[in-house]
Amino acid sequence: MPKLKKSDLSPEDAAKMSAAELGQYLDIRARKFAEEYLADRNATQAAIRAGYKPGRNNASAAVQGARLVRDPIVTAYRRSLIADELDRKDITKNGLLLTLTEIQARCMQKVPVMENGEETGEWQFDSRGAIKATSEIAKLLGLYAPEKQSMDFSGGGIEALVAILTGKERGF
pLDDT digits (tens, 9 = 90+) for 77-92: 999 998 888 888 888 8
CA separation for the pair 99, 162 (Å, rounded): 44
Task: Provide the pLDDT for residue 44.
Answer: 94
Ranges of the chain whose pLDDT falls below 70: 1-3, 145-164, 167-172
Long-range CB contact pairs, 101-104, < 8 A, 24+: 101/133, 101/137, 103/129, 103/133, 104/129, 104/130, 104/133, 104/134, 104/137
Task: Provide the pLDDT for residue 1.
Answer: 45
What is the pTM for the complete model shown? 0.57
Task: Provide the pLDDT for residue 155.
Answer: 59
Cα radius of gyration (the chain): 26
- Residue 77 contacts residue 24 (beta carbons within 8 Å): no
Task: Provide the pLDDT for residue 156.
Answer: 62
